[in-house]
Structure 1
Amino acid sequence: MDVNKIREDFPILSIDINGKKLVYLDNGATTHKPKSVIQAITDYNEKINGNPHRGAHYLSVAATDAYEGAREKVKNFIRARKASEIIFTKNATESLNLIAYTYGMAFIQPGDEIVVTISEHHSNILPWQMVAKAKNAVLKYMYINKEGRLTEEEYREKITDKTKLVAVAQMSNVLGTIYPVKDIVEYAHSKGAVVVVDGAQSVPHMKVNVTDLDADFFVFSGHKALAPMGIGVLYGKEELLLKMPPFLRGGDMIEYVTEQESSFAELPFKFEAGTQNVEGAVALCAAIDYLEAVGMDNITEHEKELTEYALSKMREIPYVTIYGPRDMDSRGGIISFNIEGVHPHDVASIVDSYGVAVRAGHHCAQPLMKYLGIQASSRASFYFYNTFEEVDKFIESIKSVRKWLGYGES
């Protein structure tokens, strides 16, 4: 994989920040778009723009073909069985809320247990808090060990015969831990529970096969995988989606409407009320084409090498604390860290003066922060267009942080 050649496809990577070449290490928050995705958006608006499913004229038909083609593309990308199991949303957060407000509110009963990990993004906690309170159910947490991993002992203890739903991220957005989702799904199913998998951090970086995982629901956001903001995906098993009530009601999701009653369209349209983000779906289609051209295995391997290199350099700095697994066994390209005596927001501001973009804060994971005994952290997250030279610039920038704040050369 020729990373330098790949970088030529991403216009934003050539810009300067504070007089320095941009080193973008905030890919866990959002990724940048290659020219082919940008062009797909332009082409759609210049040549195809129309309201799908609603007209017999050329543009409406073309928009329908493009939109449904994107659905088929997503189905193949995550190895779903049917395109009708793919529902477009605006992001992973909306997908999770859709599951909570439909499946959760319809099927969780008083006394049932909902089980999540302590490291979940708020988007995979708040909806289940809502369901638990509304349905008088019990919300339980699975806790990670000191290495940032979820042990078999822990999930087998927390998932019981009372558990009706388990929600877990395939990859932690803070720790980078890749959780044993397939094993968790198998055990949860043996207890009669359904499993919701948050794939926001995994889909852009590794091969995903929802059929092999046997996940009941799986969600991700396009903007973390080269596509624009405002397009997301919910995969759900057909047998579950058929039983669930609609999330939103309005145009395009109906079969018949009378003055007092309505019946709803077949899958997946039952869950796609109103005019959808067709250009976002088209751009996601182009993003998937780009990822597959690069090769998901190549992406995974390059990020593994980058992260391993960065971790080795960071371990040499005595005042840096790293959170999460310290080796690359079941770990993705995310490194959360703190610098002794420096607030993460100051870290982010100072390294930005070197052109280095990292994240700082609680990363929408305040329960995890409390569990780790910290208020916040800095986070570097890599993608396949990052280079070893950029890692070196990142290391150089964090080595300079304490000097800026009067700690001398240390």
Structure 2
Amino acid sequence: MGDVGDAGLGGGGDTNMGDVGDTGAGGQTDDEADVVAADAAVRRSSSSIRFRKCNSVRAKPAEGDKVLIRPLGETSWDDVTWEGNKGARTNINGVLGALYRYHYPGMVEVGGVPQAATRWAHWALKRKLLEDGSEGRTLQSVVWEDFWSRYKTDVDEDDREAMRALKKHFSRAAEKVINDSLYNARITAVCHHFKAVKGQSMNKKKGANKIYLSEEEYLQTEIDWLVKDIEAWRWLAKLWSSPDWIEVSKGKRSNRGSDPGHKYGANGHFGLQRRMEAESGTSQSFMSVYLRGHRGPDQNNADVLCSQAAKEKLEAYGQQMVKRHGEDVDWMQEPLDVKALYHSGQGRRHGRYAFGTGVVDYNRSQPCVGSSSSSTATSRWARVDEAQEEAREAREEARQAREEAR
């Protein structure tokens, strides 16, 4: 993809200390599968355990071999070439994650204060060093260009609004993947510490996410993409061991609960939908895919879901659909009604739907089976949230433009 400029790739802002390495989803969302899992092989190196393969990326394909992708939802992508019945689905956000880890900025200055890069906007604060020692484009632009050297889009580059929407989607995806990776990096450090220092096996199922190390213990481990700038790793170790951060992290984990979030696996919601359609030969509704992605251990009993939370969310959505469209509505087979979803979760708490966050495009009109008096209020709040988001993005774009002009 051509030169798009740095200012168009905003997203994020100053670091929210409660979010660094502790996502609101706890690594369990209805979006892409865990983007770090593919890199989870470890090796022993002197006195530390290291994360592998984070300092390399796969070779770029030939121009004619690029995969056509399109944005889906808020943070997902559609591999247009994948038919659902042939092999594994390309983890597109996994590729994005590999690229931003490879181009990790390390320490940056935010408002004149040095800190580790933890938000997508921070990739715009560092420039790539060229072979002659000079500085090139920002790392944010480098990631964008590197990504589109592997994929292609049918968006018209001369269509400014379409390109703006594409860059906005890219920024949301990058922000999510970065947040998830930092969450997993801390847990991986805990697991590596137990293996290297205590000689014990540890993982998330055993409670690794509930364990908080001291600053010194974090520094006994090495996560390759973070220790490329050792000062950034030290900054994160100090942050993750601070009492204030730990208190916030525990509060978020308590709010999330301990039930498994879903069982989509590496397919994600959209990948599972395409597999189901390939198997059945018929189109699948959003809620049919939800049911499959949250089914319990009894594969023959679709009414038993994997968690009480999943069951309660399903029931709340059904109640809103009946309230909005009447007793006769077959809400499991109807297109997803975003307004019913919005009200079933009492709004977008902390920016999240009751389910489908990242899958449902919040800023785009969704197909509904009807309307009600509640739609006016919902639309008004949606417009307010969208206006606030656009204002934040405008401020970020202006800041990046000033940075680029230096």
Asked if these proteins are the same fold (TM beyond 0.5), I'd say: no
Q: Which has the higher strand share?
A: 1
Taking structure 2 as the reference length, what is the TM-score of the superposition? 0.25
Q: Which has the higher helix share?
A: 2
Taking structure 1 as the reference length, what is the TM-score of the superposition? 0.25
